[in-house]
């Protein structure tokens, strides 16, 4: 009984986290290293800082001078750490994955499956005996992956298909000759069928037809509208991925510029690509990605077409809504996660009451101190520090001057 009691008590305490860094080729050599106080530039690109319990790369909980995988930490006392509400809805698993994303180069054109698609695909590939770490694997878990990206720097991306009229206009600007047969097929009365047919045909372009289409788009971008942001990104994508039809992404998808503090939401099935910038990313706990271009990684165009939502959309720019003097929340439809920005200053201390779901905090700027009201334990907070706040932890308060982002379950 003594061991169980000790574990239960430990599980209720606030803990510091050590978080893995993912060294993907498109990552920055400065952003994450600088945030976490390590030498700049880093020896290799650093793309994502993961805070969570995904099997691929779980965070480590610092406990009495030792580290324990967050997955194992949760397993020893799931109700105390996750909270009864989370367990009832999602079982004994942390339902979100929290990241700092640093894109120095464009990411692939991609989409994420819905829940039914993820479960079916995961089971199908398991039956086929495809190892989880195989390069050709599409589904690495059975979960969907809605996500939100909040910019920490100026951030560029493409998100969702343009409206039919806008799409026709952009195709005529950049590919008036090579894609002229596509124009009359853009039917606003049947947008889903139209977009699916258009995108499938573009992915199927081969040989000289594809080369001519790319050449025409590049020529128009360089000579007719070189100052246009669409042209800028067509040219930049071509420099990174010459000969890839994915360079047309800024023409057919909504080009989005986010300023620091602005965000965009990506539901399942939304075609998108992050192009450049540093941001906070929060998503359902999944690593499922279906790619269509702009990458040396595995591409499965047929499977991508199956998971895509072929609807024109206005991605909009999200801003956090104030919910207390220190908190502003980005409101989404996601059941697994909620992203909250905490702004602490000398005249406004953050007070967190008990009876919460699990929280993970990361300090983006400034200095502060977090105090566990029950135990009196204090945690000095500096840029790059992250904390696990179990559901069973007592009230806590944060004082100082800092910008902190919080991931939790609504």
**What domains can be seen in the chain, in order of their start residue?**
338-408 (2.60.120.10)
Based on its alpha-carbon atoms, the radius of gyration of the chain, rounded to whole angstroms, reads 23
What does the CA dihedral 245, 299, 283, 328 come to, rounded to 10 degrees?
Answer: -10
Do the strands 147-151 and 109-111 form a parallel or antiparallel pair, or are they unpaired? unpaired
Catalytic residue among 15, 162, 291, 356: 291
Catalytic (active site) residue 29: no
Task: Kindly state the DSSP code that residue 247 receives in the 8-state scheme.
Answer: G
Written as one string, the DSSP assignment of 27-51 is BBSSHHHHHTT--SS-SS-B-EEEE
* pLDDT tens-place values along the chain, 410 residues long: 333 444 555 778 999 999 999 999 999 999 999 999 999 999 999 999 999 999 999 999 998 889 999 999 999 999 999 999 999 999 999 999 999 999 999 999 999 999 999 999 999 999 999 999 899 999 999 999 999 999 999 999 999 999 999 999 999 999 999 998 887 777 776 878 889 988 999 999 999 999 999 999 999 999 988 889 999 999 999 999 999 999 999 999 999 999 999 999 999 999 999 999 999 999 999 989 999 999 989 999 999 999 999 988 888 899 999 999 999 999 999 999 999 999 999 888 999 988 899 999 999 999 999 999 988 999 999 999 999 999 999 899 999 999 999 999 99
d(CA 59, CA 68): 8
Cβ atoms of 171 and 184 within 8 Å: the answer is no
d(CA 200, CA 193): 11
Q: Which two tokens stand for residue 388?
A: 């696990």
392-401: string of b/e by CB count within 10 Å (b at 16+)?
bbbebebbbe
* pLDDT for position 336: 95
* pLDDT for position 4: 40
Query: First-to-last CA distance in the chain?
Result: 33
Closest CA to 342 of 387, 300, 298, 307: 387
d(CA 94, CA 78): 9
d(CA 402, CA 362): 10
Q: Alpha helices, DSSP H only, in 91-128?
A: 115-127
Tell me the C-alpha to C-alpha distance, in Å, between residue 110 and each of 301, 324, 352.
Answer: 10, 36, 38
Q: Which two tokens stand for residue 173?
A: 């600007």
* pLDDT for position 9: 58
d(CA 229, CA 250): 9
* pLDDT for position 1: 32
Closest CA to 218 of 237, 199, 204: 237
Those residues with Cβ within 8 angstroms of residue 353's Cβ, 6 or more apart along the chain or in another chain: 395
Do the strands 396-408 and 359-372 form a parallel or antiparallel pair, or are they unpaired? antiparallel
Tell me the C-alpha to C-alpha distance, in Å, between residue 34 and each of 17, 31, 103, 406.
Answer: 17, 5, 14, 20
Query: Angle between the 164-174 and 191-204 helix axes, to the nearest 10 degrees?
Result: 30
Strand partners, 349: none
CA dihedral sign, ordered 35, 38, 42, 44: negative
């Amino acid at each position: 009984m003594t061991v169980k009691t000790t574990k239960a008590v430990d599980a209720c305490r606030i803990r510091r986290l050590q978080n893995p860094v993912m060294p993907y080729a498109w990552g920055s050599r400065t952003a994450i290293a600088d945030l976490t106080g390590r030498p700049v530039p880093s020896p290799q690109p650093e793309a994502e800082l993961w805070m969570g319990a995904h099997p691929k790369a779980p965070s480590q909980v610092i406990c009495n001078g030792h580290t324990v995988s967050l997955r194992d930490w949760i397993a020893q006392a799931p109700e105390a750490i996750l909270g009864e509400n989370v367990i009832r809805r999602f079982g004994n698993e942390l339902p979100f994955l929290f990241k700092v994303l640093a894109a120095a180069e464009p990411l692939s054109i991609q989409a994420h499956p819905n829940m039914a698609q993820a479960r079916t695909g995961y089971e199908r590939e398991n039956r086929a005996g495809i190892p989880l770490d195989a390069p050709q694997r599409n589904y690495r878990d059975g979960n969907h992956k809605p996500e939100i990206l909040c910019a920490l720097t100026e951030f560029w991306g493409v998100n969702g298909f343009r409206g039919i009229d806008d799409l026709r206009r952009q195709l005529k600007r950049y590919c008036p000759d090579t894609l002229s047969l596509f124009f009359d097929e853009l039917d606003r009365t049947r947008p889903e069928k139209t977009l699916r047919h258009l995108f499938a045909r573009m992915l199927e372009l081969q040989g000289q037809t594809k080369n001519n289409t790319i050449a025409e788009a590049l020529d128009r971008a360089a000579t007719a509208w070189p100052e246009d942001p669409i042209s800028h990104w067509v040219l930049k994508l071509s420099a990174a991925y010459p000969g890839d039809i994915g360079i047309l992404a800024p023409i057919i998808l909504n080009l989005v510029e986010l300023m620091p503090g602005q965000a965009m939401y990506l539901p399942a099935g939304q075609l998108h690509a992050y192009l450049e910038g540093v941001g906070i990313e929060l998503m359902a706990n999944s690593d499922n990605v279906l790619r269509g271009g702009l990458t040396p990684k595995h591409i499965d165009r047929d499977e991508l077409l199956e998971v895509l939502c072929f609807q024109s959309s206005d991605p909009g720019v999200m801003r956090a809504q104030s919910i207390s003097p220190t908190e502003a929340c980005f409101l989404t439809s996601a059941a697994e996660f909620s992203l909250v920005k905490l702004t602490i200053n000398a005249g406004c201390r953050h007070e967190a009451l008990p009876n919460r779901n699990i929280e993970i905090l990361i300090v983006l700027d400034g200095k502060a101190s977090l105090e566990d009201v029950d135990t009196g334990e204090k945690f000095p907070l500096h840029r790059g520090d992250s904390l696990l706040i179990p559901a069973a932890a007592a009230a806590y308060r944060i004082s100082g001057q800092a910008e902190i982002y919080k991931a939790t379950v609504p």
